[in-house]
A and B are shown apart, each in its own frame.
Chain A
Amino acid sequence: MTVPDRTSPAIDVRGLTRAFGGRRAVDGVAFTLRGGECLALFGPNGAGKTTLLRMLAGLLRPTSGTARIGGVAVPGGPAVRAAVGLISHASLLYGALTALENVELAAKLYGVREPRAAALRALEAMRVRDRAATPVRALSRGLQQRVSIARAMVHEPSVVLLDEPFTGLDAAGAAALTSALVALRSSGAALVLVTHNLDEGLSLATHVAIMTAGRFVRFEERGALDAPAYAAAYRELVARGA
């Protein structure tokens, strides 16, 4: 855990924009999250949510604006990348390697001490340790997703970016992921959770946002937000194609 500070922003995004040709996939997004906070980000397909996460992960350069992780602008150097864990649409795994080899490789690349033990703990946390010796290509989609989550968590990141992490998970996998995210939040990590599932998002979030056409059209604290009213407003925004 590299940035457990709850007073200064763990993620500070200002006017973040990314254009592909003439189209702005992300357009002037701004928000701040402190350690221990979780932003649930909702939005229709093509709203720019994945592009936003890829910029925060340092995989995509912004066209304009800034994003800072632990006070360091992204895409930064190794120090800022060490603080981030990314769970993507794709598994980021090697099919020919076993679950343990995949997670252990990530642990070694992140400089985790005792990488094998850390990898086994991460697989245990996702309740997939019994498949540690199985090649990833032989695992079901749901089990691959659990290994992928273990890979992203093995270095105990202080900022976790999750793109539809519950996709493909069964009830046990979803429960394991939820408890892992709750534990991460309690330990001071900041989370950005992209999801289409309002119930899952609202149950974990301290902040919620709706993104359409590259912009945040709503951003507020979860607090005493009325979930049914919020869901209705979200459906209306998506239906309007705002």
Chain B
Amino acid sequence: MAPSTLTAALLIARKDLAIEFRTRTAFFSAVVFALLAIVIFYFAWDPTAVAAVDLAPGVLWVIFTFSGLLGLHRSFGVEMADRAIDGLLGAPIAREAIYLGKALANLVFVAAVQVIAIPAIVLFYNMPLAGRAALAVAAIALLAAIGLTAVGTLFSAMAVNTRLAELLLPMLSLPFFVPIIMPAAQATARLLSGRPVSEAASWLKILIAFDLVFVVACMLAFPHTIEE
């Protein structure tokens, strides 16, 4: 009996993470990019003109967006080398399982980059992040990562067959990232400036709403993007 959608998705996610764990190319690229960007922003920053609490949330989300794109681009790239995607499409599993598996692996990838980048930002910009605020920032980062990977996985599948995939993926994805990045950045800014968690709640609700919309819409759209 063929596996359920969830089981197949977990198999595909596990396979993608195993490949990334062995090659580590995209992860190291993303982490090095994130750390370099933090350092460059830090040295370009004039603390007498802009306060750290005003700059850090912007830096954080610029870094997440672009480092995430590195992993998203590779997501369907590994399927094209020897047309392994045909093996997945020919298997008796729902197309949605391929999308979910890929998105899940991308989510782990982006979250792993965040685990390294957030402490680096806190360290460089001397942010007072602890206790409930730290947990809230982690929750925002995870929710934003869900939205980014939901959209990015779909566009990675669409862009991979084109000759300008590296250019096309950010061009397609970035406009759709805005509704995710904006509430995430606003909520993070409030938490990093020491405001209570309740002040970020309304932005969190917007973030959750967009996550739901993007996950459902992208999963429904995915089968149409890969069928020839």
A contact set with B: CB distance below 8 Å: 54, 57-61, 75, 77-79, 81-82, 84, 86, 88-97, 101, 105-106, 108-111, 135, 151
**What 0/1 pattern do residues 103 to 123 of B give for CB contact below 8 A with A?**
000000000000000000000
The 3 closest A-B pairs by CB, nearest first: A78-B92, A90-B83, A82-B92
Chain B: CB-nearest residue to A136:
B82
Assess whether A111 is in contact with B92, with CB atoms less than 8 Å apart.
yes
| Alpha-carbon distance between A108 and B93 when the two chains are bound, in angstroms | 11
Please tell me which one of the listed residues A86, A90, A105 contacts residue B90 in the complex, with CB atoms under 8 A apart. A86
Are the CB atoms of B3 and A111 closer together than 8 Å? Answer: yes
B18 with A59: CB separation less than 8 A: no
* CA gap between A88 and B11 in the complex, in Å: 23
Distance between B167 CB and nearest chain A CB, rounded to angstroms: 25
Closest-CB distance, A163 to chain B (whole angstroms): 11
CA distance A54 to B90 in the complex (A): 10
Interface hub of A79, A90, A91, A94 (most chain B Cβ within 10 A): A94
Q: Out of B2, B11, B19, which one reaches A96, CB within 8 Å?
A: B19
Q: Tally A-B pairs: CB < 8 A.
A: 83
Q: Which residues of B contact A96 (CB under 8 A)?
A: 18-19, 22-23, 78
For the complex with contacts A58-B89, A82-B2, A109-B93, 7 further pairs of A-B residues with Cβ separation under 8 Å are A75-B227, A82-B92, A96-B18, A101-B15, A109-B3, A110-B2, A111-B92
Q: Does B140 contact A (CB under 8 A)?
A: no
| B8 lies within 8 A of chain A by Cβ | yes
Chain B positions 1 through 12: 1 when the CB is less than 8 Å from some CB of chain A, otherwise 0: 111000010010
Q: What B residues does A82 contact at CB under 8 A?
A: 2, 92
User: Are A92 and B15 in touch, CB under 8 angstroms?
Assistant: no
**B residues in contact (CB < 8 Å) with A:** 1-3, 8, 11, 15, 18-19, 22-23, 78, 81-84, 86-94, 227-228
Are B87 and A108 in touch, CB under 8 angstroms?
Answer: no
Contact B15 A97 (CB under 8 A): yes
8 Å CB contact of A94 from B1, B3, B78: B78
Complex CA gap A110/B23 in Å reads 27
Main secondary structure of the interface of A (DSSP, over half): loop
Complex Cα distance, B91 from A105, in Å, reads 11
Residues in B neighbouring A111, C-beta threshold 8 A: 1-3, 92
The 18 sampled A-B contact pairs (Cβ below 8 Å) are: A54-B228, A58-B90, A59-B89, A75-B227, A78-B92, A78-B93, A81-B90, A86-B86, A90-B86, A92-B82, A94-B15, A105-B11, A105-B15, A108-B3, A109-B92, A110-B92, A111-B92, A135-B22
The answer to whether B82 touches A93 (Cβ under 8 A) is yes
* Cβ of A56 to closest chain B Cβ, rounded Å: 11
The answer to whether B228 touches A60 (Cβ under 8 A) is yes
* B8, B78, B90: residue with the most chain A Cβ atoms closer than 10 Å: B90
Nearest chain A CB to B193's CB is how many angstroms away?
A: 44
Q: Which of B81, B91, B228 contacts A61 (CB 8 A)?
A: B228
Distance between A186 CB and nearest chain B CB, rounded to angstroms:
24
CB closest chain-A residue, reference B21: A96
CA gap between A15 and B22 in the complex, in Å: 47
A54 to B22, CA, bound (A): 31
Cα of A109 to Cα of B78 in the assembled complex, Å? 18
Chain B residue numbers with a CB within 8 Å of A110 are 2, 91-92
A83, closest chain B residue (CB): B92
Contact A109-B88, Cβ < 8 Å, known A78-B94, A82-B2: yes
CA distance A95 to B88 in the complex (A): 15
Complex CA–CA separation, A137 to B90 (angstroms):
22
Q: Which residues of A contact B92 (CB under 8 A)?
A: 77-79, 81-82, 109-111
A96 to B19, CA, bound (A): 6
Closest to A94 in B: B84
